[in-house]
Structure 1
Amino acid sequence: MSSLVLAGGGHSHALLLRRWAMQPHQRPPGLITLVSRSSTALYSGMVPGLIAGLYELESVAIDLRALADQAGVALVVAEITGLDPVARRLQLKQRPDLSYEWLSLNLGAITRQAAGAESALMPIKPLEPALAYLGAQDRHTLDASAADAPFRVVGSGLAAVETVLALRQRWPHRALELQVRAGHLHPSLHEALQRAGVHQLSGEAPSSASTGLLCTGSSAPPWLACSGLPCDPASGRVLTDSTLQVTGHPQLFAAGDCAEITSDPRPASGVWAVRAASPLARNLEAAIRGQRLQPWRPQRRALQLLGGFRNGQPTAWALRGSQLIGPHPLLWRWKRRIDARFMALFRRPSAMQSNAAMACRGCAAKLPAAPLEQALRDAGLAGDQVQPEDAALLPIQTDAPDNALIQSVDGFPALVSDPWLNGRLTALHACSDLWACGARVLAAQTVVTLPQAVPAEQASLLSQTLAGIRSALDPQGTPLIGGHTLESREGMAAAPLSRSLQVSLSVTGQCAHGFWQKTTLQAGDHLLISRPLGTGVLFAAAMAGAARPTALDTALEQMATSQHPLLDALLKLTQEQPGAIHAATDITGFGLLGHLGEMLSNPSLRVTLTANAIPALPQALELLEAGHASSLAPANRNAWSLLDPTKQGEPPVALILGDTPSVSARSRALLELLVDPQTCGPLLISVAPEVSQRLENDPMQPWRRIGVVHSAKAPSP
């Protein structure tokens, strides 16, 4: 088996993944990893329509995370910074290098700028920062003074014309300029720009405008030329032969805008990137299997459809060679059908739909509360005298009780296919048990269970996992002092291999300012939560293809953010106000309500939660309303009993719905959010009102008040 890395999420690689998703037998054996700076890839043919407001972002974005899952390929979301072809290592920003045996480059391109020229304008490529820039310009355009400032597009190609016409549709009243080489535009395009009220500037000098876009052609990422690979001196594109193998490097392949076939050069264009997908796939598969490669000669000319607007209505031109036809609305309809057909390739067909009831991973893979409690009772580990905890004080006598040592253990099956990120998430999740007790983490040990694979692949998975664990521990000053590795005995793992990793950590900490308990709530306290809920339903919905990529990105960004700085701030507070934290826990597998029930051991106390104050991750409530839920949620719903009246009449937990109707899809979603299992979930603290006010008013702190603690009402006579 051989490790293959796909560098870049361009059109060629997206189509390659689709091929393996639809035809798994074509996928080469071994560990395959896609590295992309984003979890989505924007279809370039529809970006002008996106800029104009004809499309929503999601309708032009290819979901690489879902596509990789379907294809049995691991996804690493990271920026590539370099390549060492001798050591066969791909260098990533703020991540350990990725080793490979085979490498395929489909990186797209960046906007080319004149040598030595500096410009304040935003390059159109990469697309994601340029789109964010235009979003910021939307806000400025609403201001009358800013609207008077012209927005300039610099470039003489079709992309510049298409972009400025799209901007006219986006901003009907803002002054727009196109800086173009004299005599370069076709008369039909010149007329279209005049009709649109776009002022045309001639000249090849760098733009002096302060706001605008550079559409001045493209070049490959500069690190390619720095890697020592053969590259075109002008464009920086890596040179390949007709089999798409990099010249002089038979284990490297390249296609799309970052590459050029030496014998048949073609301009950078999405057309040729799409056409290159099939020969790239065939030759990659053949090379890895030791079979003969087939040469490919791209067509010399390709038809390009250029979108625009005429009197506010979409239209289009057709360009083949030097012949320009249009504009005409029929050409626009043709272009729209072609674009829709391309994007339809990446909609998940029914044959590739995942079972929505598939067992969830991460902390949602915990054993439900009922069988866990039964097992603990049967083993003599639960009862009136024994209360097992996620984190507990070590039974060691110390001269300073406030400096007690504490220990916890946690772990779960891989939540994501990126072993580095999975290691980081597992470590942060394990540390959370100690943070919730007011303890700094002193040391950690880990057990990593690896799938059966060739030694090189196991070594790569292990090194990435350990590096991810250390990325969570090192900022805390916490050493990884040891551990064990195991090899799974479940037979050969399904692709991707990284999904078969299982990681557990034992963490030891020290309570420098006293041990925060769960069960010491006080009447009058405010309950504060540190971050939104919803990770369980988001990852469950992702398996059914229902979660938006942006929502998963937001969830993963939150989960991968360490909460140890919050602990540091709370410990500083307790130094100033001893006993400020009355009780604390973290919200993990049993959900907010389940863990709140653990805190409510005092029968004389009650909690009132304000439903609309409980923060939720983007799309979480929408998915819960639609009926999606984690596979652990049904067992967690037993905690809803806390909302039922007791024999004394008052429920242990009251949920205030406010304006939300008690019988509605939204109220049901709010109830489901209470029992949604969380991985790397929030901290929950109980503090006096004056401490709550201090934390809520601190702009550097994320705490949000979601409820209050009060004494139980006396039973009616």
Structure 2
Amino acid sequence: MTTGGTLLLAGGGHSHALLLKRWAMQPERRPPQSITLVNRCSTALYSGMVPGLIAGLYQRDELALDLRQLCDRAGVAFVEAEITGLNPEQNLLHLRDRPALHFNWLSLDVGAVSRPSAAGVPIKPLEASLSFLESEDPSDPNPLRVIGAGAAGLEVVLALRRRWPKRELKLQQRRGQLDLAVQRVLQKANIEVTDDDNHHNGPSLLCTGSQGPAWLATTGLPLAPDGRVRTDRHLRVEGHPCLFASGDCAVISASPRPASGVWAVRAGRPLAINLEAACKGQPLRPWHPQRKALQLIGSHEDAAWARWGGWRLGPSRLLWHLKQRIDRAFMNGFLQPAAMADSAPMACRGCAAKLPAQSLAASLERVGLGGQPEDAAHLAGQPGLLQSVDGFPALVSDPWLNGRLTALHACSDLWACGAPVSSAMATITLPMVSADEQQELLVQTLAGIRSVLDEQCAELIGGHTMESRSTSPLPASLGVQITLTVNGNSPQSPWLKTGLRPGDALLISRPLGTGVLFAGAMSGATKAADLDTALQTMACSQHTLLEQIEPIRGGIHACTDITGFGLLGHLGEMLQNSPGLTVELEGSAIPAYPGALELFERGISSTLAPSNRAAWRWLEGPVQLRDHESPALLELLVDPQTCGPLLLACTSKAATQLTRNGPWLQIGNTTAAHD
């Protein structure tokens, strides 16, 4: 067996979450390999609290495991992507809309899905069924039917009763499935029990059992009849010594257990021990799971009952409090220790790694390169050709996404000039890791860059690669640094930063706050949903805005993109050659990403923010901030942006058209300064 290479963790189930927690708390146990977790979402819901979420007892944040943060703490790269297949012969994990990932070791914890049926909405995947329940009207006269009277169906229908005290509910069982004691609980909750599986007029929720994801059937791996991967007692896939599997997607052939969060949690430690041993070439330990597990099932009231095989106790309020205590203790175990959260802030990445404006200006002045810089420059002798260069240290540990974000950020300089991108060249510095790992990082990075250029029908025409001479970070993908030279053709005169006129409207194309969100993420302060929202917007190309603007191009007087120096710093650059103008900013109109202002209020900011605060001097001169002035807003004005918005000045007529038909928001206007 090989002991080098890459370990892929496919799926963010409970076993893998506990694995990450172990390595975060005890980093000496972490295998020396490069490790990456792949999951379709940045969070995973703890199944034990899902009924409470359905009942309305918990908020989603209370049971969401932040996988991205866990990975950061454990020194593991995180890739948010949907898994579509696996080729065990070529050691490739296939992903939707991006290149496959190569591995030397693979651990599967991809969960399960409800067995297919035309009868209703499947309870798994949970994200889809929870969205379905959110869309349901509690006053709908049509009854909602839960199909399946096992433990899952019972918990769900009783949780729905708590969620909707008045709505008609039905539970469909197999004839004779439920004993009298359970039927009495359901009768007390005013839930009709039926064994009629004929057509049902109202909505249905399917809780009739689960199976492995459909794509597992195409892998050639040994599967049980329910589509789950067969493993030995070491949690190693039968016949595949470098593949492991646990949780709801797997079953130990010698000790079959039902798909359940209980077994997924219990598999966490033996999986960790065996993965650590396998990656170090050490003997594996067999796992002998107990035959039965205690199940605590909540009722529609503050009570629960316990099951141990055929034995049952309750419903009881004491059991309900015990269940809540166990569930909250499980989630609290994933909280970042206070010592880590309160430690000195790490240097920010992305465009927040930019040299401070004052140092940059002083350096350029000393070598005779001072003056008013533009976002892109004309190439000598070719007035229609524009060129710009940009780049930064890796912002995220996913090399494909990092390549995409860096390319979008670099292209923004040309978009700010009104020029579409035609080509680019890349300089990529890779960390000092094995040649195979460097190759994988380069493949993923280039594919991410290409994803941006392909959308614009632009070409990657060349580049250069280097190996860093600095110590490789953990994960190594954070050691990738990209610099892009982008070229574009401007058939008309490009927009400049300067050119503001009295009466211009100031428009912005997307929210602010990426700097503080990523700064907060390093200490665990940023909510996973807030970072997801920002990344989703950042990863969207703004090249389509040029098509929208083209018909009213003559109404655009100046434009720039907001990057490392923040809104106020770049607005100051626009004003440097306009001594007779005043800008009035509407504070309440300036958009912020969800969670950004809250982080500022908690005293969190990017490491570039202190130097950017020098731009506050503009508020004492030509920039007036009207209404809504607050410390948080002042910080937002100087927050460094990666893949930030475009900021343009245009006529009021152009502003009306842009704000009506696109993402643009007006945040202020210019006036002639009074003597």
TM-score (norm 1): 0.92
1:318 to 273, 295, 306: 306
1:265 aligns with 2:256: yes
Q: Which residue of 1 aligns with 2:549?
A: 570
1:255 to 239, 243, 246: 246
Q: Which residue of 2 aligns with 1:170?
A: 163
| Distance of 1:220 and 1:230 partners within structure 2 | 12
Q: Which residue of 2 aligns with 1:446?
A: 426
Deviation at 1:82, TM superposition (A): 0.5
Q: Which residue of 2 aligns with 1:133?
A: 132
Q: Which residue of 2 aligns with 1:5?
A: 8
Runs of 4+ in structure 1 off by over 6 angstroms are: none
1:390·1:409 contact (CA, 8 Å) conserved in 2?
no
Residue deviations 1:661-710 (CA, integer Å, cap 9, x gap): x5xxxx11011110000000001111111111111122xx1011100111
2:374·2:496 contact (CA, 8 Å) conserved in 1?
no
Q: Which residue of 1 aligns with 2:588?
A: 612
- The one-letter code of the counterpart of 1:414 is A
- The one-letter code of the counterpart of 1:408 is S
| Distance of 1:430 and 1:480 partners within structure 2 | 13
Q: Cα RMSD between the aligned structures?
A: 1.2
Q: Which residue of 1 aligns with 2:76?
A: 73
Q: Which residue of 2 aligns with 1:232?
A: 224
| Distance of 1:580 and 1:455 partners within structure 2 | 52
Deviation at 1:135, TM superposition (A): 1.3
Q: Which residue of 1 aligns with 2:326?
A: 338
SS class of match (2:241): strand
| Distance of 2:489 and 2:236 partners within structure 1 | 56
- The one-letter code of the counterpart of 2:133 is L
Residue deviations 1:543-583 (CA, integer Å, cap 9, x gap): 11110000000010010000011112112433xxxx12111
Deviation at 1:322, TM superposition (A): 1.2
Deviation at 1:512, TM superposition (A): 2.2
- The one-letter code of the counterpart of 1:523 is P
- The one-letter code of the counterpart of 1:211 is P
Residue deviations 1:1-56 (CA, integer Å, cap 9, x gap): 32000000000000000111111111111210000111111000000001111111
Deviation at 1:203, TM superposition (A): 3.2
Deviation at 1:514, TM superposition (A): 2.2
2:643 to 664, 667, 680: 680
SS class of match (1:709): strand
TM-score (norm 2): 0.98
- The one-letter code of the counterpart of 1:376 is L
1:213 to 205, 218, 223: 205
2:215 to 214, 223, 227: 223
Deviation at 1:397, TM superposition (A): 4.2
- The one-letter code of the counterpart of 2:666 is R
1:530·1:682 contact (CA, 8 Å) conserved in 2?
yes
SS class of match (2:494): coil
Residue deviations 1:497-522 (CA, integer Å, cap 9, x gap): 10111111000111123200111011
| Distance of 1:284 and 1:209 partners within structure 2 | 49
Change (3 A) 1:272 1:262: same
| Distance of 1:590 and 1:606 partners within structure 2 | 20
Q: Which residue of 1 aligns with 2:663?
A: 702
1:152·1:209 contact (CA, 8 Å) conserved in 2?
no
5+ residue gaps, structure 1: 399-403, 645-650
1:86 aligns with 2:89: yes
- Of stretches 96-105 and 124-133 in structure 1, the one that deviates more from structure 2 is 124-133
Residue deviations 1:364-383 (CA, integer Å, cap 9, x gap): 00000000000000111014
Residue deviations 1:206-226 (CA, integer Å, cap 9, x gap): x53442311111111011121
Count of matched residue positions in the alignment of Structure 1 and Structure 2: 671
| Distance of 1:306 and 1:538 partners within structure 2 | 38
SS class of match (1:309): coil
- The one-letter code of the counterpart of 2:100 is D
Q: Which residue of 2 aligns with 1:357?
A: 345
1:151 aligns with 2:136: no
| Distance of 1:231 and 1:49 partners within structure 2 | 33
Deviation at 1:356, TM superposition (A): 5.3
Deviation at 1:111, TM superposition (A): 0.7
Deviation at 1:536, TM superposition (A): 0.4
- The one-letter code of the counterpart of 2:311 is Q
| Distance of 2:296 and 2:185 partners within structure 1 | 15
Deviation at 1:325, TM superposition (A): 1.1
Residue deviations 1:479-514 (CA, integer Å, cap 9, x gap): 1111111101013x1310101111110001111232
Deviation at 1:353, TM superposition (A): 3.0
1:474 aligns with 2:467: no
2:375·2:416 contact (CA, 8 Å) conserved in 1?
no
SS class of match (2:303): strand
Deviation at 1:95, TM superposition (A): 1.2
Deviation at 1:268, TM superposition (A): 0.5
1:438·1:515 contact (CA, 8 Å) conserved in 2?
yes
Deviation at 1:351, TM superposition (A): 4.1
| Distance of 2:194 and 2:385 partners within structure 1 | 71
1:381·1:388 contact (CA, 8 Å) conserved in 2?
no
1:395 aligns with 2:388: no
1:286·1:293 contact (CA, 8 Å) conserved in 2?
yes
1:440·1:510 contact (CA, 8 Å) conserved in 2?
yes
1:498 to 477, 498, 503: 477
| Distance of 1:392 and 1:201 partners within structure 2 | 74
Deviation at 1:354, TM superposition (A): 6.5
- The one-letter code of the counterpart of 2:408 is L
| Distance of 1:178 and 1:393 partners within structure 2 | 71
1:302·1:321 contact (CA, 8 Å) conserved in 2?
yes
| Distance of 1:328 and 1:464 partners within structure 2 | 54
Residue deviations 1:456-488 (CA, integer Å, cap 9, x gap): 101001100000001111010011111111101
Q: Which residue of 1 aligns with 2:568?
A: 593
- The one-letter code of the counterpart of 1:347 is L
2:634 to 651, 663, 671: 671
Q: Which residue of 2 aligns with 1:655?
A: 625
SS class of match (1:381): coil
Residue deviations 1:55-97 (CA, integer Å, cap 9, x gap): 1111101111110001000000011010011111000111110
Q: Which residue of 1 aligns with 2:672?
A: 711
